Amino acid sequence: MNTVKGGVCAAKGFRASGIHCGIRNNRTKKDLSLIVSDVPASACAVYTTNLVKGAPLIVTREHISDGRAQAIICNSGNANTCNANGIEIAREMSELCARALGIRPSDVVVASTGVIGQPLNIEPIKNGIPELVRRLSYDASGDAAQGIMTTDTVKKEVAVEFSLGGKTCRIGGIAKGSGMIHPDMATMLVFITTDTAVSGAMLQKALSCDIKNTFNMVSVDGDTSTNDMVTVLANGMAENAEITEENEDFKVFMKALNTVTVSLCRMIAGDGEGATKLLECKVSGAKDKETAKLVAKSVICSSLLKAAMFGADANWGRVLCAIGYSKADVDINKIDVSFKSPKGEISVCKNGSGVDFSEEKAKEILLEKEIEILVDLNGGEACSTAWGCDLTYDYVKINGDYRT
């Protein structure tokens, strides 16, 4: 398993582009992206669990009900959610895109992200699609990644290469996500492409299984958005034997997918709105997987702990507090907690009680950009990891005037 360059263009037969079409007032920011496979592909997706769903998700669900797609179009700056004509606009987006590409509208995944509740004008998109198609390139993943960003401060893309039956396969992805991020699938926009030959049914099984331990374990602010989804296209151009069952090839593919999704999870958490630190809570010693996940998510979602991490304050009591209200079945008197970063590791709690430690050393550890919160429940063999970020003054600044 090797990391390679290229993002969503790393796999054979995928082109991408990103432009500014005029949805956003800032002309320096791209606001329309396109990803296209040279051939029809297997397709699957998972969607936000928010009862309020953006119109693009409803249209996309219809389009990929047959397990096939060939293109993804996404705009930023406007979520096309809670609009009376939202469905019509989403369908028109896919129709305009399909016409320009010479494919069926039902083979287009459509997505939007941005402000909720404001009408989306189709004209900038209609006028921009010809240029968007002209700019399609086998090395423009970065442009597509920029076109889907909202409050993100960095583009997020990754790709890996692996082998199946002697055939070289690649899988890559781009993502956006900075605010309205919470572990309740999905919590961001993620587009993944692969040249692996895999059936639609197995692709859906792989993604649905993977998100339980990746995207469902990310939290920035506790808000689950209305437009979020993770989509995968697999065009089979690597020419491996098609994966149609849970065999060894499927396991290798799952590992490759997980490598990509974990990397994107870390990028999203580390780029949380106003964040200065990536937090990674690793829970071990749980009696079962669900207990480990409950604890990890509760800790990473704690606003008080997130604020303490911003201040580099080793307030480990907030970790136990979060575990205590997680509703996980644990023995509080057996819990060990420590903090870890590139500056070292320090134990702060043993058997549910505080231990003597150097506040100076703890602060040195917690001043780093990436912090691990290590929790050992000492009650079994199961483990889990969740990702988040610190809570800063800038989070309020960003969201205080997000719409205006």
> Are 14 and 138 spatial neighbours (Cβ–Cβ below 8 Å)?
yes
Structure-derived torsion over alpha carbons of residues 163, 164, 168, 172, reported in degrees to the nearest 10: -80
DSSP 136-180: -BTT-HHHHHHHT-SS-SS-EEEEEEEEETTEEEEEEEEEE-SSS
Number of H helices, E strands in the chain: 11, 15
Q: Give the span between the Cα atoms of 191 and 176, in whole angstroms.
A: 9
- Which structure tokens are listed for 242? 């098609």
Residue 80: name the closest of 51, 105, 108, 52 by CA: 52
Region of 70 please: left (phi>0), alpha (psi -120 to 50) or beta: alpha
Q: Which one-letter amino acid corresponds to residue 313?
A: D
β-strand 370-376 against 278-286: which pairing, if any?
parallel
DSSP state of 316: T
> Are 173 and 191 spatial neighbours (Cβ–Cβ below 8 Å)?
yes
- Point out which residues pair with 82 in neighbouring strands: none
- Which structure tokens are listed for 385? 């990891």
Tokens 């494919």 belong to which residue? 103
3-state SS assignment for residue 390? coil
> Are 178 and 113 spatial neighbours (Cβ–Cβ below 8 Å)?
no
How long, in residues, is the chain? 404
How many Cβ atoms from other residues are within 10 Å of residue 9's Cβ? 27
- Which structure tokens are listed for 215? 């995207």
- Is 276 an active-site residue? no
Question: Rounded to whole angstroms, what are the CA distances from 53 to 33, 60, 124, 269?
Answer: 21, 12, 23, 23
Half-sphere exposure of 202 toward its Cβ, with a 13 Å CA cutoff? 19
Q: Give the span between the Cα atoms of 36 and 101, in whole angstroms.
A: 9
| Candidate list 48, 81, 150, 187, residue with the active-site label | 187
Q: Give the span between the Cα atoms of 307 and 318, in whole angstroms.
A: 10
Residues annotated as catalytic are 187
